[in-house]
Structures are given as C-alpha cells and as structure tokens.
C-alpha cells in the first residue's frame, strides 16, 4: 500500500527546516512491512498545491498527517482541499492524541491514532490493503457510517531498540542538516519524568499503560549516529531528548563511548535538578559544547504553583554557574503570557536571565495545548478568545488568550523587549542581534539573512 505522510510546518518561526522523528519511525516500520511511503513537507505560508501535486504524482492509498495543536487549523483546511480524491485519511501526533474528540468534529478525517503509531499504523495499512475490518485496531479510532469506533490503547513500546532507525530518506535530510548549521538531530529516549502544566507530556503520559520514560541502549544510539554521519555531511550532533540527563549511569556510558567512537561536538537538553559538577564535566569531556535548559518563568512561587516546576531560583543559578565553570555554553528557554502572569511577574524571568547571562536564549509566547492542565485552566477561566483561534499568525509570536491581568499588547511588548532587557548593558552584540531577531520585522530579517546565518550565529553566541 502507498502511504503519503504530511508534515505541516506552516507559519513556524525561524529559518530552519526540521526533521520529524515520529514520521521517520512510522515510515521505517511501514517500509519494513512491505509498504511504500512518501512525504509532503508543508513549510511557509498555507498552500495546499504542493500536496495536491504530490497526490497526483504518488497516488497514495492512505494519507497520514501529523498534528501539533497550532497546525490543526491548517490541517482542517488541507483535509477539505484534498477531499475530492476520496483517499483514506488519518491524523496522529500529540495534538490529536490529547484531543481525540476532534475526529468527530473534523470533516473528511477518517481515523486518528492515539499515542504511539508504529505498530498501529502498520496494522491499519495491512488491514486496508487486505480489505479487512479496521474498527478494532488498538490506538486507532475510526469514523465510519456516522459511528466512532474508539479503541483502547496498547502499552507504550517497551524496548525502543526493537524499532528500526528512523527513515532519514523520507525527508531531504541533507537539506535539513544544512539549514540547521550542519547539525543532525537524534533522540535517545521517549517521555519525560516531569509534568509541567503547559507541556504535552503531562497528558501524553496518561494515554497508555506501561513505562513512559524509556531510553534506547547507548549502543543503539551510537550505531545510529555513526550511520547518519557516514551517510550525510554533518558537523555536529543534537540530542533532542526532553531531558537527556535523567539517568547518571546512562550519561556516563554514553559520554565514554561517544568520545571514542563519534567525537563530534554535541548539544543536549536538560533540567537543572539533574546537573552536578560530575555530570557536567563528563559532558564537556565527551565534546558537549552547549546545554539547553528550560527556565520558562523566573518567579519561583509562580513557577511552582502555576507551572508545577518546583526548582528554586538558587538551584537554577547554581546549575548555570556550574555549566559556565566547566566551559559549557548555555541556552535558556523562556515563555511569556501564561494565565495569571502579569508584566511584573514576567520581570522575574528577565531578572533571572539577566543574572545568569546565558550564551543564548529562546523566548516564546505561551500557547495552550488541549489535554494539558494549563489549557483546562484557560478554558475554566474563559481566557481563550474563541474567535481568534483560527487566525493566521506565526506560532508563538502572538497569543489567543484574553487575560485580565496581562493584555495582549503588553505580552507582545514583553516578548519583543526580552532580549534587550536580558543582555542590554551586559553584552552588546547579543542584545543587538537577539533584539533584531525578536523584533516586529524579525521574521523578514531571518529570511533575508538566512544565507549569512552561520556567521551571525558564531558572532552572537561566542
């Protein structure tokens, strides 16, 4: 059977193309099962034409679309635009897994996958190909003759090593690497042990039985990195796990083997609670050049009570100081525009970043994801402006919330001024470049400057 995957990445901020591990896994498993796969990557402004052309050319029997909440408004339009072909459609991914009620409400959508899709989609493709019953496949919900067949979930995949490596060929992977400073991305785990109220992990962990946080074996990850760096031109590696350092023994084993067998500079995501001088030294010694940590909000009480992130400011400062001590670059992730936040509370985020002086930072405007506690808070308090939900704007640069305590205008102002407030008077080049990046014209500038972005990045975060 021919399966066409769709990766909608519409109106997303930044100049890099991205790989999608979820689709990569699905494609590998389907190919192994004897099916053919192809991809339509939709980037930039909404435009269904490339997808329509791909359908004409590939003639798929099944169309599988991956969903994040922000893209779902475009997905509904796409489903309508391709409905004339009468091809079986299925959506999967974090949004639909946490908002399965969309199946009933969405026209031209035949099925959804709740949770992990590898074995479920394979069973569906096999069943469709052989004209068998498709209404009893675990993780797959089907809409048929006006009925919804909602099936139970299968347990989380226990042994990730049993899965094939992701299908990098499904994408133009070399182009993705080039667009991301010659960096190739990998994931050594699935799941996160924490439950921050704004994050999809808080809901995803509940949708199936079994162990949620799982790591692949170090040998399996190293073998994949070796395979990728041999086949593609890559200069550095990004381990994009939610939290790479959960297990000290794993980090130790990984660093020892990585240093010997790979040796490329690499970057990870981590949490301040996991960081000790010992772990940081191991990472540095193995070639890690930067660690990225979610700071998200700098007011300790707010962070604990509203976001369920109980780490203290002191712990955050210590972790960043230790990282600097061992010579690692740092990056903070920050959010503005949470429910119950005010411009004054947001200044806590500014002040903490100002103290830490990370090598680089990311700020975005809060987006409520269905299926998370903070989304429910927004609904309960009537904070979501329903009429603005389908409005077109670049993701995370605007808000659909109407907060009595923090106006939309103020949120956008705080978002744009953030880098200057953090770096102003401390690091002129960072203040200037990040200010440009987050300015009103940032999106256009990113596009114009993309041929020079490697030079700019070097200059900005050195």
Tell me which residues in 4-43 interact with ligand B12 (CB under 6 A): 8-9, 12-13, 18, 20-22, 25-26
Least Å from the CB of residue 5 to ligand B12 = 7
Beta-carbon contacts of 27 under 8 Å, excluding residues fewer than 6 positions away, are 3, 5, 37, 39, 166, 167, 170
Contact partner at residue 118 from ligand B12, ligand SF4, none, CB < 5 to 8 Å by partner kind: ligand B12
Binding mask 361-390 for ligand B12 (x = CB under 6 A): --------x---------------------
Query: For ligand SF4, how many residues bind (rule: CB under 6 A)?
Result: 10
Angle CA 298–303–306, to nearest 5: 145
Rounded Cα–Cα distance for residues 244 and 282 (Å): 13
Least Å from the CB of residue 94 to ligand B12 = 4
The two structure tokens encoding residue 123: 């069973």
Q: Which member of 6, 42, 99, 192 binds ligand SF4 (CB under 6 A)?
A: 192
The two structure tokens encoding residue 195: 């439950």
Least Å from the CB of residue 205 to ligand SF4 = 9
Q: Which member of 156, 194, 254, 302 binds ligand SF4 (CB under 6 A)?
A: 194
Least Å from the CB of residue 80 to ligand B12 = 18
Question: Which CB atom, from 42 or from 196, has the smaller least distance to ligand SF4?
Answer: 196
251 near ligand B12, judged by CB under 6 A:
no
- The residue assigned the tokens 């990225």 is 292
Contact partner at residue 294 from ligand SF4, ligand B12, none, CB < 5 to 8 Å by partner kind: ligand SF4
Segment interacting with ligand SF4 (CB under 6 A) among 192-200, 372-380, 384-392, 418-426: 192-200
323 near ligand B12, judged by CB under 6 A:
no
Question: Which CB atom, from 18 or from 36, has the smaller least distance to ligand B12?
Answer: 18
Rounded Cα–Cα distance for residues 182 and 203 (Å): 34
Question: Which CB atom, from 184 or from 192, has the smaller least distance to ligand SF4?
Answer: 192
Contact partner at residue 141 from ligand B12, ligand SF4, none, CB < 5 to 8 Å by partner kind: none
271 near ligand SF4, judged by CB under 6 A:
yes
Contact partner at residue 196 from ligand B12, ligand SF4, none, CB < 5 to 8 Å by partner kind: ligand SF4
Binding mask 57-96 for ligand B12 (x = CB under 6 A): -------xxx-xxxx------------------x-xxxx-
348 near ligand B12, judged by CB under 6 A:
no
Question: Which CB atom, from 109 or from 307, has the smaller least distance to ligand SF4?
Answer: 307
Question: Which CB atom, from 118 or from 267, has the smaller least distance to ligand B12?
Answer: 118
Segment interacting with ligand SF4 (CB under 6 A) among 182-190, 194-202, 315-323, 363-371: 194-202
199 near ligand SF4, judged by CB under 6 A:
yes
State in Å, rounded, how far the first CA of the chain is from the last one: 50
Tell me which residues touch ligand B12 (CB under 6 A).
Answer: 8-9, 12-13, 18, 20-22, 25-26, 64-66, 68-71, 90, 92-95, 97, 113, 116-118, 121, 187, 190, 199-201, 240, 242, 369, 395-396
- The site for ligand SF4 (CB under 6 A) is made up of 192, 194-196, 199, 201, 242-243, 271, 294
């Amino acid at each position: 059977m021919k399966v066409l995957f769709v990766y909608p990445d519409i109106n997303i901020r930044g100049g890099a193309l991205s790989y999608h591990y979820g689709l990569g896994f699905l494609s590998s498993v389907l190919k192994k099962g004897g099916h053919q796969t192809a991809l339509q990557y939709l980037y930039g402004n909404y435009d269904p034409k490339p997808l329509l052309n791909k359908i004409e050319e590939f003639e798929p029997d099944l169309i599988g679309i991956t969903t994040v909440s922000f893209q779902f408004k475009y997905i509904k339009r796409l489903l309508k635009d391709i409905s004339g072909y009468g091809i079986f459609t299925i959506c999967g991914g974090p949004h639909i897994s946490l908002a399965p009620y969309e199946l009933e409400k969405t026209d031209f959508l035949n099925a959804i996958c709740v949770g992990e899709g590898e074995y479920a989609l394979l069973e569906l493709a096999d069943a469709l190909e052989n004209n068998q019953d498709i209404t009893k496949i675990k993780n797959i919900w089907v809409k048929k003759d006006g009925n919804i067949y909602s099936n139970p979930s299968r347990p989380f995949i226990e042994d990730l090593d049993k899965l094939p490596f992701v299908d990098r060929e499904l994408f133009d992977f070399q182009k993705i690497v080039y667009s991301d400073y010659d960096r190739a991305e990998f994931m050594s785990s699935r799941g996160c042990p924490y439950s921050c109220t704004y994050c999809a992990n808080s809901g995803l962990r509940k949708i199936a039985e079994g162990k949620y946080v799982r790591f692949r074996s170090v040998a399996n990850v190293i073998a994949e990195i070796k395979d990728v760096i041999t086949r593609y031109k890559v200069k550095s590696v990004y381990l994009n796990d939610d939290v790479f350092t959960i297990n000290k023994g794993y980090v130790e084993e990984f660093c020892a083997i990585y240093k010997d067998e790979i040796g490329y500079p690499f970057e990870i995501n981590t949490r301040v609670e996991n960081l000790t001088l010992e772990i940081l030294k191991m990472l540095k010694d193995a070639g890690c050049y930067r660690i990225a940590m979610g700071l998200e909000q700098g007011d300790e009480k707010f962070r604990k009570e509203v976001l369920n992130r109980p780490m203290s400011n002191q712990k955050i400062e210590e972790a960043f100081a230790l990282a600097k001590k061992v010579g690692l670059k740092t990056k903070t992730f920050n959010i503005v525009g949470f429910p119950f936040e005010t411009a004054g509370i947001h200044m806590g985020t500014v002040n903490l970043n100002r103290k830490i002086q990370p090598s680089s930072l990311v700020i975005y405007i809060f987006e409520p994801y269905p299926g998370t506690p903070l989304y429910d808070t927004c609904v309960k308090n009537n904070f979501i402006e329903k009429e603005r939900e389908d409005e077109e704007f670049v993701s995370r640069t605007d808000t659909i919330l109407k907060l009595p305590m923090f106006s939309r205008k103020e949120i956008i102002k705080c978002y744009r001024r953030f880098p200057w407030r953090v770096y102003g008077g401390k690091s002129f080049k960072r203040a200037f470049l990040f200010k440009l990046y987050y300015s009103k014209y940032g999106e256009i500038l990113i596009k114009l400057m993309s041929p020079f972005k490697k030079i700019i990045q070097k200059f900005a975060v050195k």
